[in-house]
Amino acid sequence: MPRFARRSLEGIEYVHVTTHGIAEEYIYEKTEEKKEIRKLILENQKKFNINVIAHCIMDNHFHLIIKFKETKDLSNYMHQINTSYAIYYNKRHNRQGYVYKGRFHSQIIKNENYLRNAIIYIHNNPVKAKICNKANEYEFSSYLNFWKDQKDNDMNIFNSKSQYKEMHDMDDTNEEYILDFERISEEETKEILIKYLNREHITIEELQKDKQKLYEFCNICKTQYKISNRDLEKVIKVSREKIRRILMKSVPKTYVPFGTE
């Protein structure tokens, strides 16, 4: 993976923002709905003096990376697009009430390396969700336009177009980038491990040697709980490289996800 200096972004505020539909409802499920929220996201930038660096719209949430100067501009911008979309969505579905699950979540991006990984993270959301195989296949993200836009804005976050593509295509390029509000503790990971071992009637030593069960457990941890390879390595004492290879090469058998037994 290419290495970059962790250059400070002090004096320039970047934030990763995400919002979710109430009760995880698919509020952007239809193509027309994705087009509407994207239109609101892009059209309201100048009005509130913010710049949307990257975006990705999924069925029940969206991700934005925003450059801004004043916190109030960011808050007013998010209020505007969420309010406008809620009116549109309620009218479209002949419903009333809340559309969003509380306020938007935000995470400050502190350096350029973090910013780069955040961009890859949101562009690869559809890949992680198995909607497509590559980030460039998904219509409702900024992946295809980002390279041109970064040059127009003199951002130079990626050194070349080939590097931009390569870093998105590498399965674990942004492995360690997880939103703070999505991250679970090491103790919680251990509880998930114990639950799995008890369900399968195996020991951790047996898990370490059984490629199929190791795939099964790691896949559960990553898809259901967004646990990174680094955090898995600490708990199950299997190297990150081995976990990465297992997840890339193993073919899953059918298994019962946690909570559905």
Position 103 scores a pLDDT of 78
Q: Are 76 and 48 in contact (CB under 8 A)?
A: yes
Residue with tokens 């990763």: 16
Q: Which residue has the higher pLDDT, 251 or 71?
A: 71
Q: Are 118 and 16 in contact (CB under 8 A)?
A: yes
Contacts of 100 (CB under 8 A, 6+ apart): 19, 20, 21, 22, 27, 82, 86
Position 28 scores a pLDDT of 95
Tens of pLDDT, residues 92-149: 999 999 999 877 888 888 888 888 888 998 999 898 888 999 999 999 999 999 877 7
Position 182 scores a pLDDT of 59
Instruction: Flag whether pLDDT at 226 surpasses 80.
Output: no
| Average pLDDT over every residue of 207-227 | 86
Tens of pLDDT, residues 3-39: 434 444 456 688 999 998 987 789 999 999 999 999 9
Q: Which pLDDT band, with edges at 50, 70 and 90, does 180 fall under?
A: low
| Average pLDDT over every residue of 220-236 | 82
Upper half-sphere CA count for residue 17 (Cβ side, 13 Å): 26
| Ordered strands of the 51-57 beta sheet | 51-57, 61-68, 13-20, 105-109
Position 138 scores a pLDDT of 95
Tens of pLDDT, residues 52-90: 999 999 999 999 999 998 888 999 999 999 999 999 999
The shares of helix, strand and coil residues in the chain, as percent rounded to the nearest 5, are 50, 15, 35
Position 40 scores a pLDDT of 97
Q: Which residue has the higher pLDDT, 165 or 179?
A: 165
Residues 196 and 255: their CA atoms lie apart, in Å, by 11
Q: Are 55 and 124 in contact (CB under 8 A)?
A: no
Q: Which residue has the higher pLDDT, 2 or 73?
A: 73
Q: Which pLDDT band, with edges at 50, 70 and 90, does 46 fall under?
A: very high
Q: Are 68 and 74 in contact (CB under 8 A)?
A: yes
